[in-house]
Amino acid sequence: MTASARPQTLWLGRWGFVLAATGSSVGLGNIWKFPYMTGEYGGGAFVLVYLLCIALIGVPIMMAEIAVGRRGRANPVEAVRQVARESGRSRLWSGLGWMSMICGFMILSFYVVVAGWSISYLWKSVSGGLHADSVAGMAAIFKANNANPWNLGFWSTLVTIVTMLIVGKGVQAGIERSVRWMMPGLVIMLALMIVYAIVSADFEAGFHFLFAFNLDNLTGEAVLAAMGHAFFTLSLAAGAIIAYGAYLPANQSIVRTTLTVAICDTLVALMAGLAIFPVIFANGMDPDSGPGLIFMSLPLAFQAMPFGGVMAAVFFLMLTVAALTSSISMIEATVAWLNQSHGLSRRRASWGVGIVLWLVSTLAMLSFNVGADWTLAGKHFFDWLDFLTSRLMMPLGGLGMAILTGFFLRRHIVREELAMPTWLFALWQFALRYVCPIAIVLVFLDALGWLGSGLDWRWLAGMLVVGLLVELGLRARASIRDRAPVR
Ligand code: PFF
């Protein structure tokens, strides 16, 4: 069925897209990954680069993805093909849609394992299994939780089933309805935790750690990680935003919705940092304890609070819910593709995808127990999924999207979708044409060790100047062409 022949599903409510896309972007990445990455990469300098990546790369690419989704009115594979065709470009561009859809699936394969940790901690806090006297005690609980594949597999399977149930119900009755109440609850919980951090923990130390922008700490590795995470946290290049954009009503502003989503996402990440680091420092823990950070420090903090047990339960419930609102978005692209391009009902598509997802995620889950020795180049399957998606596929997908929308789509199509003032459009186009590709390529070169002594900022400035000259050249050529007498 062609995109135009298909009855179009749209978000029901005015806030449908914003809530769903914020639900997608606010997730484990904000509350679990961002704090531990900041801890590992040394704090404020990493945060600064991350914020720059969000503003200069994430926001322009998110606008492009929503525009492509809405214009194509279909799943990422179809939508990209459709907009490329409308601009007279090759069908091969749909490869970009393919890559993003596969990327979303791969992320979900390890994401459900972490979401499984959250839900198992919810259970532990309700059933009284989350008590320890020290960080070491909490670490032992975390280890024991991972060591049993049946236990871990149970929780990640549960997450998989709930995700597929919601997606199977459809865009409005499943996704939109479920995101409406979940995100505000999470924000309230985080706010409560910050109040706790101010009152009872070492807020000053935590704040300082997050916002002391010491650029000496910055390594090329940290820059690559910050950029990968900017894509991850905004759910870019993983099919989710294109898929959700396909349901965005024509009268809603892409610029405004993108800014709302990006700001909410960033605020939640910073709030999570402000809630967690003060507690870590107050308890004498190291901020660089890696992926287990939130599962050791937070329970310990709650333990010290009045009604801490209830608070812990509510927090882990909210964390689980935040993970779910992201999970559903990661798989929506694949389900929509099976539904729209292969005629499967949404329910069938969901179950089919769910089974494959379960198999792959089980392999990822085994990295923590029976498969602890199964490594390739020092990485487990779980780590490979994370590495390949965050470090490779997402930046590459972002690069492709920037080039497609910046150079190859017809200008009037993009302008119609984005509906922004000329100066803002010029800025957006400049970011997509030059800032995004240059930043992504430089960071890659650096990761490969081709820039010699690390990422040198003069490189970036130099390439931006070159970009500016190319842009001026393109403009001059266009205006000469416009002024040429018509023969
Ligand atoms: N943005 C989500 C988070 O920060 O947890 C993760 C994510 C969701 C990545 C959806 C990719 C995606 F398509």
Q: Residue 350 domain-assigned?
A: yes
Q: Is the pTM of this model over 0.75?
A: yes
For ligand 1, is residue 240 a contact (CB within 6 Å)?
Answer: yes
Least confident of 78-92, 204-218, 328-342, 406-420: 204-218
Distance 99 CA to ligand 1 centre (A): 15
For ligand 1, is residue 324 a contact (CB within 6 Å)?
Answer: no
The pLDDT tens digits for 344-395 are 999 999 999 999 999 999 999 999 989 888 888 889 999 999 989 988 899 8
For atom 11 of ligand 1, which residue has the closest CA?
235
Q: Residue 271 domain-assigned?
A: yes
What percent of the chain clears pLDDT 90, i.e. is strictly above it? Answer: 52
Q: Residue 214 domain-assigned?
A: yes
For ligand 1, is residue 107 a contact (CB within 6 Å)?
Answer: yes
H-helix segments, 26-93? 28, 34-40, 44-53, 59-72, 76-86
Two structure tokens written together for 224: 């690559």
Q: Give the model's confidence band at 52: pLDDT under 50 very low, under 70 low, under 90 confident, else very high.
A: very high
Domain containing residue 362: CATH number: 1.20.1740.10
Q: Residue 487 domain-assigned?
A: no
Q: What are phi and psi for residue 182, nearest 5 degrees?
A: -75, -40
For atom 12 of ligand 1, which residue has the closest CA?
235
Q: Residue 400 domain-assigned?
A: yes
Query: Of 344, 367, 424, which Cα lies nearest the Cα of 168?
Result: 344
For ligand 1, is residue 235 a contact (CB within 6 Å)?
Answer: yes
The pLDDT, as a whole number, for residue 307 is 67
Q: How many domains is the chain partitioned into structurally?
A: 1
For ligand 1, is residue 334 a contact (CB within 6 Å)?
Answer: no
Mutate to test the pocket of ligand 1, among 106, 111, 183, 385 (most ligand atoms within 8 A of CB): 111
Residue 263: how many other CB atoms lie within 10 Å: 13
Mutate to test the pocket of ligand 1, among 26, 32, 109, 329 (most ligand atoms within 8 A of CB): 329
The pLDDT, as a whole number, for residue 456 is 62
pLDDT above 70 for 102? yes
String of DSSP letters for 313-360: HHHHHHHHHHHHHHHHHHHHHHHHHHHHHH---HHHHHHHHHHHHHHH
Structure-token match 């706010």, residue found: 191
Q: Residue 407 domain-assigned?
A: yes
Two structure tokens written together for 142: 């975390």
Distance 237 CA to ligand 1 centre (A): 10
Q: Residue 172 domain-assigned?
A: yes
Q: Residue 405 domain-assigned?
A: yes
The pLDDT tens digits for 69-91 are 999 999 999 999 999 999 999 99
**Rounded distance, CA 463 to CA 214, Å?**
25
The pLDDT tens digits for 195-233 are 888 887 788 988 888 888 777 777 777 887 888 889 899
Instruction: Compute CA distances 197 → 125, 184, 202, 267, 280, whole Å.
Output: 20, 20, 7, 16, 10
**Number of the ligand 1 atom closest to the C-alpha atom of 104:** 13
Range of the domain at 199: 3-482
The answer to whether the beta carbons of residues 61 and 399 sit under 8 Å apart is no
For ligand 1, is residue 28 a contact (CB within 6 Å)?
Answer: yes
For ligand 1, is residue 266 a contact (CB within 6 Å)?
Answer: no
**Number of the ligand 1 atom closest to the C-alpha atom of 394:** 11
